[in-house]
Structure 1
Amino acid sequence: MIYNEKYETMDIDEKKELQLRRLQKIVKTAYEKVPFYKKKFDDAGVKPEDIKTLKDIEKIPFTTKADLREAYPFGMFAVDEEEIVEIHTTSGTTGKPTVTGYTKKDIGIWQEIIARAIVMAGGGKKDIIQNGYGYGLFTGGLGVHHGGYKLGAIVVPMSSGNTKRQLEIMSDFQTTILTCTPSYAMYLAESLEKIGLTKKDISLKTGIFGAEMWTSEMRDKLEEKLGIDALNIYGLTELTGPGVAMECLEKSGLHISDDHFYPEIIDPKTKKSLNEGEKGELVLTTLTKEGMPVIRFRTKDLTSINWNKCKCGRTTPRISRISGRSDDMLKVRGVIVFPSQIESAILKIEGLTPNYQIIITRPEFLDEIDILVEATPALFSDEMKEMEEIEIKIANEIKKEIGLRVNLQIVESESLPRSEGKAVRVIDKRNLEN
């Protein structure tokens, strides 16, 4: 089943004509109504009328997360504030969060692309969707909620946490679709076994999982333990939230709603466009966003693109599973983390040196963060009880900064490896390539 056959199965040449019209319009809007873009275009010597073909998008400068942060809070809006009906933000990263605003039309488009995603997962009006994504400023919860409402399905707004209640609801309501992070889905699966239930005691058929990178092995385990099709959803707060791309039941890549988002793949070092099938950094342009158009946004996500028609019948391009990022930003349990955030928390404590190491592992299915931090000789000679209290204090400071629990250990001064070049602060031992 396809939710919107007109756009999801559109002839490629017809789609390109549509994209060009929309690109020309959004570029003109951004230039005329967003001072940031007018300056950006003028500095690059580009005018809206220079965009005569889709290839001409390469003349336009990139937009980065740093650009959006500098415009905090409403500097990127293309409409008057009274036209904005909903606002979401990222979690904050190294400073101010990035903000995105939606008009009523934008919310309608968001509903549409999530409805498409749910149908790609085999969903329909008769389904009960248990929404385990977080509500609030995070886009996940309300994004899925908007789409389920549009589709006409029943949405159970559980949000994350309260695992026992989640499982009770899943069993009592006979939920058919689960939406949450894949690591939390695995935790639910393992908790199900612990309370003596099996996949036969629930009615799940599909999981729509995103907000963090996950492997094909994780998919296999989730499908085995829950008896479902485990599918990948992709999105960014900066553009709209979840629904930018979604995996269909063929599981051969994530379909981009390219009537609303124009995709490019670039070499992150040279910034040159890459060919179909070559892995590089995903760059996205909103084609229909009223409240906050975003032109050539560097996502930092590494993937490749396939323009061939899918066996499901859709002609929308497909990106491969995100295998990593082109910067030092980490995504752990669905939360964006920068090493500098951890450093900031460490440096608030007297007696610690700036030398630390972050080790990220996935021993089972949940990410773990282990942090080793060097102490001064004076601090390291303190009593064991005092050391333990300091470790707890630091761990709490880091949790306040990033919102995640960490395993922290104070180590002796000069015990961590040194480098003559750039310090190796992060060791990511997760296998995210498969």
Structure 2
Amino acid sequence: MGKPAGRRWIVVALAAVLAVGAAAAVLHRVLAPAEVSTVARSGYPPAAATPQVGVIGRLPVAPLVVDGRLRVYAGTRQVYADQPADRKHRVTPFWSYRRWPAKVDGVLADGTTLVSRWSDGKLVALDARTGRVAWRAEGPEPGMVPEPRRTYASTVWDPGGLYVARAADGRAMLVAAGAGQLDGYDLADGRRLWRVDRERGCIGAAGTTATGEVLGLFACDGPETVEFRDAATGAVRSRWRPPDAPDEFVLTPVGCREGRSGCRGLRISPPGDGTGRGWLVGPGAPVAAPALDGADAELDGERVVGTSAGVVTGRSARTGEELWRRADLGPVRIIAVEPGRVHLLTVRRDLVTLDPVTGAERSRFALNVGHDGIGWTPGRAYATGGYVAVERLRERASPDDDDQAYFLMAEPVLLAAT
């Protein structure tokens, strides 16, 4: 004899409620915000011996070399590290940090402190030695940025809106810039030191100077102006407009310690113009540096290295006086600069590293591995501590191409030691 109709409906309704509850629990576990930190299970690697000069190997993603011991990478929702820095291939992560559903927007390293910014504005600092979270802070949400390509080179080599500056007493400050907002933090513990809120597009940051200032553009009323803020307090130290500058211009920091932090110069260019005028920044108003004019010149301290018509020259940044000349390299392109080294790429894809003070050759070798050949074009490049990493693009690659047509191969990044 069957169950009464009323009891059957009660059972069916109860089963439906339980099913919906179970599904909701599963969805909550899958979709709820989450953080997964997998810390290092072994000790911090010892300081690496000087790596052998030459190409180390090829990688599928762009490495950020930290402390000369680790390589840090970014993914859509992950920051992770492997080691040692001079290993030929990428290997199992030394540590890993993930967040959901936010995406990685930028990664910056200063010493053994690694700061990541996420699409929801969250700032997370990791101890690079262990992968443990050192601090978390609320920051400005990043503005609209292009989706990074699969190497994530823009994320780790040029993290727009993340900069480090040092005060006169040696304290390190983190500067985070978002749409209409600038925040300053103590890098040691993540304490917010100051905040500036303005209308979107009114203020912005382009980098920091070697004298502890935030370098940016101010366009709240009238023509654009270069603005210098104290990185420790957020207070405006000065505003300056270059002579004969157009109402709108592009500000590019140059001569930086790493990335766009600790810069000693800037270049002012009209929109869409790849040339521009060079200036030195420091105490007082910027000083004209004609040797920095044009896009084929780079700054290292008080020296400008330039390339023109197959000749490489070193000049005084202040006077323009020629200090040395190299006419034996043929047509070359400066792909990266770091303190004490300027890295050039020849048409035969030789990587030549010069001392910017004397022009002396520190190293020279073919930027090639295995049977890959030299039929490629350099993309983004990065240098620190004598390491150089370069993206290899197909010779006819266009910015509109997808990654398959854009990059030379599945492992397009070459890592070398100079």
Same fold per superposition (TM over 0.5):
no
- Greater relative contact order, per chain length (Cα 8 Å cut-off, separation 6+): 1
